[in-house]
């Protein structure tokens, strides 16, 4: 879930507060009329997988506002933003809209969303770092985290066992030792770790693990940081992984990784938690009963801690043109607040906060995904980040590193120059 405010939303009366619904004043203190309707845009995930939660949120808000009509529209990820762009230019904007966490920034910069009072939402002080960062800009909060999705290591336990590895690694030294054994046994055409070069989510995990970053903010301006000693250390470790264990096409990205993994020519992948199960679908499984042969674990990092992961997920925002901002905030809290998170967790999602991660870490069925999500990173919340992504600066750098076209140092220097040209541009 990938996409990205400050600009001209400086109107003091726009702070959304659950407590404020129905109490804004007009004409010397008279109450604003109760909203007659509330329009909520969600992706089809909610429609298909947790419609009972949608209804519970509707019922909770209607109970506070008798006669309120709650309308829903559901969209697929590829269609939503095209429709949203068109509607935001009119006076028919929805009151609540679901956004991928990396979609938040560009819309916030355009002034599309109203600021919200984070304190009015359950567990806001414990929101996961990667999700909190996605709704925060210039010291204000412009959305509410919905749910999260992390990244884990998944390997073929049948291959590991056959090649003399008895248990998933707990440290990076154990990981590389295990992969060395597998690589030696399986031969040079096999990828002990199938890691596409252009997968910047994985590469940047190594960068952040080493203490580096994509960019740093200083005095309100962002400066590319891939050439720093710490970032170079992480990039060099990523290159070592590619050189040692990745024997596939060094120009590929991660988009078809589950399909490639299902072909049985690799032992380990590091990606979204659903990728292993997707590889094991009948149409992708060329191994036979692949689902029974997979095992996931928290990816250890070279630093000695779990490798920090890019935390994907969704947020909920209130468009600035909404005429029912207070009721919209109430609906959001009813949907993704304390009770809502229990439903989302039961459906296999990671919660939006660290408090709810605790029990999941203690449950063998969810401990890997929950533990991995606890250590996360997010993209720079810079005005020009969308241009960096659009230009695929990181992917180009990583392909140059993976194919050996450029040294790590030269590739990072080129990427830094490209990032610095646009990262502060609104």
Local confidence band at 386 (pLDDT 50, 70, 90 cut-offs) = confident
Question: What is the rounded average pLDDT for all residues in the chain?
Answer: 90
Is there a contact between 87 and 93 (Cβ–Cβ < 8 Å)? yes
Residue range 320-371, pLDDT digits in tens: 999 999 999 999 999 999 999 999 998 888 999 999 998 999 888 889 999 9
Most confident of the following: 75-79, 102-106, 280-284, 380-384: 280-284
Residue range 19-58, pLDDT digits in tens: 333 333 333 333 457 899 999 999 999 999 999 999 999 9
Mean pLDDT throughout 198-205? 98
Local confidence band at 236 (pLDDT 50, 70, 90 cut-offs) = very high
Residue range 258-314, pLDDT digits in tens: 999 999 999 999 998 889 999 999 999 999 999 999 999 999 999 999 999 998 899
| Model pLDDT, residue 335 | 98
d(CA 46, CA 77): 12
- SS3 assignment, position 183: helix
| Model pLDDT, residue 129 | 86
Nearest to 344 by CA among 149, 80, 58, 136: 149
| Model pLDDT, residue 34 | 85
Whether 4 has a pLDDT exceeding 60, the answer reads no
Is there a contact between 65 and 35 (Cβ–Cβ < 8 Å)? yes
| Model pLDDT, residue 234 | 98
Nearest to 109 by CA among 420, 384, 379: 384
**Domains parsed from the chain with CATH numbers:** 12-150+311-370 (3.40.190.10), 151-309+381-422 (3.40.190.10)
Sheet holding 69-75, edge to edge: 69-75, 37-43, 96-100, 312-317, 144-149
| Model pLDDT, residue 135 | 96
Mean pLDDT lowest among 5-14, 262-271, 406-415: 5-14
Q: For a pLDDT cut of 70, what percent of the chain falls above it?
A: 92
Residue range 81-140, pLDDT digits in tens: 899 999 998 989 999 999 999 889 989 999 999 999 999 999 999 999 889 999 999 899
Distance of CA 301 to the CA centre of its chain: 19
Mean pLDDT throughout 404-412? 98
> Residues near 406 by Cβ (< 8 Å), separated by ≥ 6?
400, 414
Q: For a pLDDT cut of 90, what percent of the chain falls above it?
A: 78
| Model pLDDT, residue 3 | 34
| Model pLDDT, residue 418 | 98
Residue range 84-96, pLDDT digits in tens: 999 998 989 999 9
Whether 6 has a pLDDT exceeding 80, the answer reads no
| Model pLDDT, residue 32 | 56
d(CA 386, CA 262): 32
């Amino acid at each position: 879930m990938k996409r990205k405010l400050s600009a001209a939303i400086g109107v003091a009366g726009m702070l959304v507060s659950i407590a404020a619904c129905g109490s804004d004043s007009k004409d010397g203190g008279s109450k604003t009329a109760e909203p007659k309707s509330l329009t909520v845009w969600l992706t089809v995930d909610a429609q298909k997988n947790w419609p009972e939660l949608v209804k519970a949120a509707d019922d909770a808000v209607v109970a506070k506002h008798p006669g309120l009509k709650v309308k829903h529209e559901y969209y697929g990820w590829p269609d939503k933003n095209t429709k949203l762009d068109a509607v935001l230019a009119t006076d028919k904007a929805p009151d609540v809209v679901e956004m991928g966490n990396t979609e938040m920034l560009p819309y916030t910069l355009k002034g599309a969303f109203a600021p919200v009072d984070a304190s009015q939402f359950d567990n806001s002080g414990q929101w996961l770092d990667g999700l909190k960062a996605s709704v925060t800009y210039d010291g204000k909060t412009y959305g509410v985290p919905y749910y999260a999705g992390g990244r884990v290591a998944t390997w073929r336990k049948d291959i590991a066992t056959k090649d003399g590895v008895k248990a998933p690694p707990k440290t990076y030294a154990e990981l590389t030792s295990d992969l060395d054994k597998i690589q030696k046994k399986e031969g040079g055409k096999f990828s002990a770790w199938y890691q596409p070069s252009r997968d910047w989510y994985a590469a940047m995990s190594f960068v952040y693990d080493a203490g580096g970053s994509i960019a740093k903010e200083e005095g309100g301006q962002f400066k590319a940081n891939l050439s720093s000693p710490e970032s170079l250390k992480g990039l060099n470790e990523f290159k070592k992984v590619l050189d040692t264990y990745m024997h596939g096409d060094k120009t590929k990205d991660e988009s078809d990784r589950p399909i490639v993994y299902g072909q049985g020519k690799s032992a380990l992948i590091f990606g979204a938690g659903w990728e292993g199960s997707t590889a094991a679908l009948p149409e992708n499984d060329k191994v036979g009963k692949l689902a029974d042969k997979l095992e996931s674990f928290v990816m250890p990092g070279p630093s000695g801690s779990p490798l920090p992961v890019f935390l994907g997920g969704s947020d909920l925002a209130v468009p600035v043109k909404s005429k029912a901002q207070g009721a919209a905030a109430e609906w959001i809290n009813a949907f993704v607040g304390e009770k809502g998170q229990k439903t989302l967790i039961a459906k296999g999602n990671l919660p939006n906060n660290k408090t709810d991660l605790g029990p999941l870490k203690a449950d063998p069925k969810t401990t890997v995904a929950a533990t991995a999500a606890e250590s996360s990173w997010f993209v720079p919340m810079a005005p020009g980040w969308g241009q960096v992504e659009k230009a695929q600066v990181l992917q180009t750098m990583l392909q140059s590193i993976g194919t050996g076209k450029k040294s790590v140092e030269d590739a990072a220097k080129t990427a830094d120059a490209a990032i610095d040209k646009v990262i502060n541009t609104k």
